[in-house]
């Protein structure tokens, strides 16, 4: 299912990685953020929306990285270079990430910064949309967000252009030991 | 037809940007759509959508009530607006009460329908469209020309001029740069806006949820950053259950833009937190605007199965030539014609309904399984009832309805057209008829029609008999096709009878909305063709076959002439098109071709009614191959040639470029011959090649089979 997801998501121009555990994913992420220029200078921050994995040593490790912040606000999100959030599910047949985005921080970090990095529990992989719809109740999740690749348009002469109002890059890190939502 | 309408068609046809962009898009769309649906059972999927949407349309008001109850239970405010005025007033009131100065909007056709921007601006509110295409249109002060791609008619140069003015900086026509200018210019507006306005692609009664589908991410910002969110939703977007979202979301992006799924889908149920910790003020305006009336109309209820994907525009051979602006209203293309007749007024569809050539391409791809061509015919019928037929047409049908007069006029024409005929073609017509021979010669009327030639044909006496329904074109223009048909059936052991009292099949009248005339034609033909001794009623014209097999019944049903339906059904049961019957005879071993003949290359043109009404497109191909022809497929083999019965007479300026495209696709195969099963297409395409002086032979399939069998019998 992961391979199918990967090929579909890559068709939609997402960048897909997979790690056996959270420490491996976080190690990759910190190196990647450094390399991509995350720093304490204004406009270069990496803004993390709260998620269960952000505790203990993982959080401590991240805190030491320059530019990493957890205080998500409208102003911070509008300034940040990177937004990081945890998604709940992934749909293999369309390469789609799905999240209960009722908490506004989850939406801010995935809409405003030019790069969105999504941690995804591999266990949250589902075959398709009907499988998801039978698992979620929208009355419990006020804002269900489906994301398939970066923001795109073809409104000028039908030429596909990436990154209109939303992120210009979408990077998904699948983590095998991350706990999926029930 | 209104002269300003004719002028707008001319303007569109001469707009090279428009026809170039739409032409390229429509070609790519077909390929990409097919790829997007790979491995998916489209028929099953659209069956589900049609069933779910139809079930919803059966009790729209009740679903609206359930939706309101469930959304309100979650904290949303729901307002049911009967009219556009009520919807506008409600939204203006919300804006006034909260002192709204600025609005960001994500794309909403419903807001276009009620001219919401103008109303807000008149109230001093600044409105920014944020969908890139909509923003371009807003800056240009235009209307969207396409439901999904509002600015498809504009070039990057035009866009760069607009953006340059908006940001007061000279920009080059570099598309990524233009897109980033839009991002940078609109971003602060999202952050500052007091209110976000969106539409909705689906509204779920069971949960009170709305579903928004976008690619750019603007809907996510519109529904997240401002503290007030107003969603304006047509009640046809309602579905009963949450699980009904799946089939619609599976089809919508594939049919709209050939994507597996759009970049973003948001399912919003009740207010969610704002960035300052307060709860959002969520207003959902459910708008009726005659949709309930539509649901109560047995014919038009199915139009509510539309999911607004615009695939009917994307595959329409007319839309790709003229674009959306000639439709003059908010909704464009096939479904737009129908929606305009309802949301605006029947009279508003008077001109635009005439753009439909009835080729059926849209019906094949509609994910809501709406019979768009049939509904446009129904509009025609109602328009004729209300407004009467235009004078010229009335005069023509008065003649067609009187068989003897009609036939004697056609005979007279065979003499009268002599001065203009060159060989077997009429190349020029005098004065006001001159447009009819633009780019196409018309066939000369045969000196001796088939009905007279038939009497001289000597046939063997055979036990099995078939009645031949010739149709006007074979009878009066191509009698040699009728003769070939008799030879072929005789070889298979079938004797042909030709009932003399047969007359026009009624299709021209029906397609013009003159159902009473069509019904009289049907009655005359039923009387002529209901013969006990014949096993089959065969026609070599798919339009006639479709009339006999399907439309007689439909016409009687529309007019409530139930006393004729049983007889129409009996006739339909015996009716068969030429290729299907002959393929059957070959399969049964009653007719065989000499093995190993190499008769050269043929490309096959699918006639609209043979492929999309009779679904018989395989039979002629297989017959041609078995006869010894090499079949080379052409690009867009099943795109209409522009004939469309009297269409090419009414809108020759549209029919002519359709024909040119067809001729080009035929020529590109390099095949020496193009085959088809419709004498109308033969007339159009043969006439086109004659005027272009091209060496391609244009033949009815039966002529080619007759050739193949002829050499068989000679050997």
Mean pLDDT of B511-537: 93
Q: Which of B313, B319, B310, B311 is nearest to B13 (CA)?
A: B319
- For residues B572 and B476, membership in a common domain is answered with yes
Within a domain: residue B348?
no
Q: Does B21 touch chain A (CB under 8 A)?
A: yes
Which of these ranges, B95-104, B409-418, B592-601, B665-674, has the smallest mean pLDDT? B409-418
The widest CA-to-CA distance across chain A, in whole angstroms, is 51
- Residue B136 has its nearest CB partner, among A102, A112, A155, at A155
Residues B623 and B562 grouped into a single domain: no
Q: Which residues of A touch B263 (CB under 8 A)?
A: 12, 147-152, 166
Q: How confident is the model at residue B712 (pLDDT cuts 50, 70, 90)?
A: very low
Residue B598 pLDDT exceeds 80: yes
| The predicted structure's pLDDT at residue B178 | 95
Q: What are phi and psi of B602, to 5 degrees?
A: -135, 140
Residue A181 domain-assigned (yes or no): no
For residue B249, the chain A residue with the least C-alpha distance is: A129
Kindly report the CATH number assigned to the domain that includes residue B568: 1.20.1050
Does the CB of B323 have a partner CB in chain A at under 8 Å? no
Structure tokens at B294: 């539509």
- A151, B186: Cβ pair inside 8 Å? no
Q: Choose among B645, B646, B641: nearest CA to B666.
A: B641
Q: Do A133 and B150 touch (CB under 8 A)?
A: no
Q: Quick one: pLDDT at residue B562?
A: 94
Is the domain of B575 the same as that of B681?
no
Overall number of domains in chain A:
1
Residue B428: predicted pLDDT = 46
**What pLDDT digit, counting tens, does each position of B124-153 carry?**
999 999 999 999 999 999 988 888 889 988
The pLDDT score that the predictor gives to residue B405 is: 63
Q: List the structure tokens of B141.
A: 């002060």
Residue B401 clears pLDDT 70, i.e. is over it: no
Residue B532 in any domain: the answer is yes
Mean pLDDT of B692-703: 93
Q: How far apart are CA B31 and CA B24, in angstroms?
A: 12
Q: Is residue A93 assigned to a domain? A: yes
Hey, which residues 185-244 in chain B have their CB within 8 Å of chain A? 186-187, 190-191, 204, 207-209, 215-218, 220-221, 223-225, 242-243
Q: What is the dihedral of CA B529, B532, B533, B537, to 10 degrees?
A: 40
For residue B396, what pLDDT is reported? 61
Domain assignment present for B709: yes
- Whether B74 sits inside 8 A of A142 (CB atoms) is yes
Beta bridge partners of B204: B209, B239
Least confident residue range of B65-79, B178-192, B371-385 = B371-385
Residue B53 falls inside a structural domain: yes
Shared-domain flag, residues B114 and B245: yes
Average pLDDT over residues B305-311: 95
Within a domain: A57: yes
pLDDT band, residue B413 (cuts 50/70/90): low
Instruction: Kindly list the residues from chain A whose CB atom is less than 8 angstroms away from the CB atom of residue B203.
Output: none
Question: How confident is the model at residue B80, as a pLDDT?
Answer: 97
On whether residue B297 sits in a domain, the answer given is no
Q: Average of pLDDT values for B394-420?
A: 60
Look at residues B272, B292, B312 and tell me which one is the last residue of a structural domain: B292
Residue A4 has pLDDT above 90, yes or no: yes
* Position A180 pLDDT exceeds 60: yes
Band the pLDDT of B639: cuts 50, 70, 90. very high
Task: Take residue B304 and report the two structure tokens written for it.
Answer: 């509510």
Residue A11 pLDDT greater than 60, yes or no? yes
Q: How many domains does chain B have?
A: 3
To the nearest whole Å, the CA of A105 is away from the closest chain B CA by 8
Best of A43, A164, A167 to mutate (most B CBs within 10 Å, chain B): A164
Which residue of chain B has the CA closest to A153?
B216
pLDDT score at B402: 67
pLDDT at B2: 73
Q: Any CB–CB contact under 8 A between B39 and chain A?
A: no
> How confident is the model over B253-275, as a mean pLDDT?
95
Task: Note the pLDDT tens digit of each residue in B678-689.
Answer: 999 999 999 899
Among B59-68, B394-403, B511-520, B627-636, name the one with the lowest average pLDDT.
B394-403
Q: Using the structure block, give the residue that is written with the tokens 């304006």.
A: B232
Task: Kindly state whether residues B556 and B612 are assigned to the same domain.
Answer: no
pLDDT tens-digit map of A29-40:
999 999 999 999
What is the structure's pLDDT at B426? Answer: 54
CB contact under 8 A, A157 and B21: yes
Give the tens place of pLDDT for each residue, B425-462.
554 443 334 445 556 666 767 778 899 999 999 999 99
| B530 lies in the same domain as B656 | no
Q: What is the mean pLDDT of residues B154-181?
A: 93
Q: Mutation test of the interface with chain B: which of A8, A47, A113, A156, choosing the one with the most B Cβ atoms within 10 A? A: A156
Asked if B28's CB is within 8 angstroms of A156's CB, the reply is no
| Distance from C-alpha of B561 to C-alpha of B565, rounded to nearest angstrom | 7
Angle, vertex CA B286, rays to CA B374 and CA A132, nearest 5: 85
| Of A116-130, A160-174, B18-32, B168-182, minimum mean pLDDT range | B18-32
Report the residue of chain B nearest A154, measured CA to CA.
B149
Nearest to B633 by CA among B659, B601, B655: B601
Question: Which range is least confidently modeled, A69-83, B104-118, B445-459, B481-495?
Answer: B445-459
Considering only CB atoms, A161 lies closest to which of B175, B209, B264, namely: B175
User: How high does pLDDT run on average in chain B?
Assistant: 90
**Do B471 and B572 sit in the same domain of this protein?**
yes
| Contact at CB, A155 and B176, closer than 8 angstroms | no
Q: Does B385 map to a domain?
A: no
Q: Tell whether the model's pLDDT for residue B7 goes beyond 50.
A: yes
Q: What is the mean pLDDT of chain A?
A: 94
- pLDDT band, residue B385 (cuts 50/70/90): confident
Interface of B with A in 52-81 (CB under 8 A): 70, 74
Do B484 and B516 fall within a single domain?
yes
Question: Is the per-residue pLDDT at B578 higher than 80?
Answer: yes
Sheet holding B126-129: strands in order across? B77-81, B281-287, B228-234, B195-198, B102-105, B126-129
3-state SS, A14-78, equals CEEEEECCHHHHHHHHHHHHHHCCCCCCCCCCEEECCCCCCCHHHHHHHHCCCCEECCCCHHHHH
Same-domain check for residues B546 and B674: no
Residue at a domain's end among B292, B327, B345:
B292
Rounded average pLDDT over B666-677: 96
Lowest model confidence (mean pLDDT) among A55-64, B436-445, B523-532, B699-708: B436-445
pLDDT at B713: 45
- Strand B238-239 relative to strand A15-19, pairing: unpaired
Asked if residue A182 belongs to a domain, the reply is no
Tokens of B235: 């009640």
In a domain, B335, yes or no: no
**B274 interfacial to chain A (CB closer than 8 Å):** yes
- Flag whether A115 is in a domain: yes
Rama region for B423: left / alpha / beta (φ>0; ψ in -120 to 50; rest): left
**Residues of B whose CB is below 8 A from A111:** 217, 220-221, 224
Instruction: Identify which of A94, A152, A165 has the shortest CB distance to residue B186.
Output: A165
Check residue A24 and give its pLDDT.
95
The predicted structure's pLDDT at residue B714: 39
pLDDT for B648: 79
Contact: A12, B260; criterion CB under 8 Å: yes
Give the pLDDT of residue B596. Answer: 87
Q: What is the mean pLDDT of residues B237-245?
A: 97
Confidence at residue B560, expressed as pLDDT on a 0 to 100 scale: 92
Q: What residues of A are in contact with residue B267 (Cβ under 8 Å)?
A: 138, 141, 143-144, 146
Selected for mutation to probe chain A from B28, B261, B280 (highest A CB count within 10 Å) is B261
Q: Which residues of B touch A102 (CB under 8 A)?
A: 272-273
Q: Which domain holds residue B99?
A: 13-127+196-292
Do B519 and B459 lie in one domain? The reply is yes
pLDDT over 60 (residue B711): no
Considering B258, B273, B292, which residue would you say is the last residue of a domain?
A: B292
A109: CATH: 3.40.50.10420
Q: Which residue of A has its CA nearest to B28?
A: A158
Provide, rounded to the nearest whole percent, the portion of chain B with pLDDT above 70.
92
Q: Which domain holds residue A135?
A: 2-175
B-chain CB neighbours of A148 within 8 Å are: 260-264
Q: What is the mean pLDDT of residues B179-201?
A: 96
pLDDT band at B294 (very low <50, low <70, confident <90, very high): very high
B180 touching A, CB under 8 A?
yes
* A104 in any annotated domain: yes
Residue B32 lies in a domain: yes
Residues of B in contact with A130 (CB under 8 A): 243, 246
């Amino acid at each position: 299912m992961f391979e199918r997801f990967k090929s579909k998501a890559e068709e939609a121009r997402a960048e897909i990685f997979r790690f056996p555990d959270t420490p491996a994913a976080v190690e990759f992420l910190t190196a990647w953020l450094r390399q991509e220029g995350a720093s304490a200078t204004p406009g270069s921050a990496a803004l993390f929306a709260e998620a269960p994995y952000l505790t203990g040593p993982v959080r401590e490790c991240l805190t030491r990285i320059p530019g990493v912040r957890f205080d998500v606000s409208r102003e911070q999100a509008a300034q940040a270079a990177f937004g990081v959030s945890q998604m709940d599910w992934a749909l293999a047949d369309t390469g789609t990430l799905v999240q209960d985005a009722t908490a506004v921080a989850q939406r801010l970090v995935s809409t405003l910064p030019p790069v969105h990095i999504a941690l995804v529990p591999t266990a949250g992989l589902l075959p398709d949309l009907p499988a998801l719809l039978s698992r979620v109740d929208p009355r419990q999740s006020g804002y269900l967000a489906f994301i398939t690749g970066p923001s795109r348009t073809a409104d000028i002469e039908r030429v596909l252009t990436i990154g209109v109002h939303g992120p210009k890059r979408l990077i998904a890190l699948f983590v095998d030991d991350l706990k999926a939502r029930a | 037809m209104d002269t300003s309408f004719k002028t707008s068609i001319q303007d569109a046809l001469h707009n090279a940007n428009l026809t170039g962009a739409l032409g390229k898009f429509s070609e790519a769309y077909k390929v990409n759509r097919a790829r997007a649906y790979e491995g998916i059972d489209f028929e099953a999927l659209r069956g589900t959508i049609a069933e779910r949407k139809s079930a919803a349309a059966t009790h729209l008001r009740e679903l609206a009530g359930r939706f309101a109850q469930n959304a309100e239970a979650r904290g949303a405010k729901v307002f049911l607006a009967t009219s556009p005025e009520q919807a506008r007033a409600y939204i203006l009131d919300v804006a006034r009460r909260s002192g709204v100065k600025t609005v960001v909007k994500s794309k909403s056709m419903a807001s276009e329908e009620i001219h919401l921007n103008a109303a807000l601006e008149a109230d001093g509110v600044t409105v920014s469209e944020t969908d890139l295409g909509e923003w371009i249109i807003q800056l240009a002060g235009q209307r969207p020309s396409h439901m999904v791609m509002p600015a498809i008619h504009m070039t990057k140069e035009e866009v760069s001029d607009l953006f340059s003015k908006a940001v007061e900086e000279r920009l080059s026509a570099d598309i990524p740069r233009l897109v980033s200018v839009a991002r940078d210019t609109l971003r602060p507006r999202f952050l500052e806006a007091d209110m976000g306005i969106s539409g909705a692609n689906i509204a779920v009664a069971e949960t009170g949820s709305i579903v928004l589908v976008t690619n750019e991410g603007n809907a996510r910002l519109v529904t997240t950053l401002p503290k007030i969110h107003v969603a304006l939703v047509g009640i046809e977007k309602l579905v009963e259950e949450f699980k009904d979202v799946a089939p619609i979301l599976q089809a919508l992006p594939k049919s709209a833009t050939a994507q597996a799924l759009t970049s973003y889908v948001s399912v919003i149920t009740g207010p969610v937190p704002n960035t300052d910790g307060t709860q959002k003020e969520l207003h959902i305006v459910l708008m009726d605007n005659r949709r309930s009336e539509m649901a109560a109309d047995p014919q038009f209820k199915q139009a509510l199965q539309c999911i607004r994907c615009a695939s009917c525009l994307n595959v329409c051979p007319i839309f790709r030539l003229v674009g959306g602006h000639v439709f003059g209203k908010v909704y464009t293309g096939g479904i737009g014609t129908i929606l305009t007749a309802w949301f605006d007024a029947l009279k508003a569809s008077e001109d635009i309904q005439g753009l439909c050539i009835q080729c059926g391409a849209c019906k094949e791809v509609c994910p809501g399984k709406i019979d768009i061509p049939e509904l446009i015919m129904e509009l025609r019928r109602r328009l004729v009832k209300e407004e009467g037929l235009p004078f010229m047409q009335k005069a023509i049908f008065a003649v067609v309805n009187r068989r003897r007069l009609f036939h004697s006029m056609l005979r007279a024409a065979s003499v009268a057209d002599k001065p203009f005929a060159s060989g077997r073609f009429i190349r020029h017509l005098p004065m006001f008829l001159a447009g009819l021979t633009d780019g196409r010669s018309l066939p000369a009327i045969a000196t001796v029609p088939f009905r007279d030639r038939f009497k001289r044909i000597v046939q063997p006496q055979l036990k099995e008999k078939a009645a031949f329904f010739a149709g006007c074109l074979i009878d009066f223009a191509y009698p040699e096709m009728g003769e070939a048909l008799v030879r072929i059936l005789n070889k298979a052991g079938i004797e042909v009878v030709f009932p003399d009292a047969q007359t026009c099949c009624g299709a021209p009248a029906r397609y013009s909305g003159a159902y009473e005339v069509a019904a009289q034609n049907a009655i005359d033909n039923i009387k002529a063709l209901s013969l006990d001794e014949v096993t089959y009623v065969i026609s070599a014209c798919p339009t006639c076959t479709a009339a006999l097999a399907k439309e007689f019944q439909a016409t009687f049903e529309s007019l409530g002439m139930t006393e004729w339906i049983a007889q129409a059904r009996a006739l339909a049961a015996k009716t068969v098109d030429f290729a299907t019957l002959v393929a059957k005879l070959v399969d049964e071993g009653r007719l065989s071709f000499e093995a190993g003949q190499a008769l050269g290359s043929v490309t096959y043109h699918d006639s609209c009614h043979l492929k999309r009404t009779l679904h018989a497109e395989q039979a002629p191909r297989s017959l041609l191959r078995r006869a010894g022809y090499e079949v080379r497929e052409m690009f867009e083999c099943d795109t209409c040639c522009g004939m469309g019965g009297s269409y090419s007479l009414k809108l020759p300026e549209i029919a002519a470029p359709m024909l040119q495209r067809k001729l080009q696709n035929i020529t590109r195969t390099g095949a020496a011959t193009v085959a088809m099963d419709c004498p109308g297409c033969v007339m159009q395409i043969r006439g086109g090649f004659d005027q272009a002086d091209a060496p391609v032979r244009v033949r009815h399939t039966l002529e080619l089979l007759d050739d193949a069998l002829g050499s068989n019998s000679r050997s």
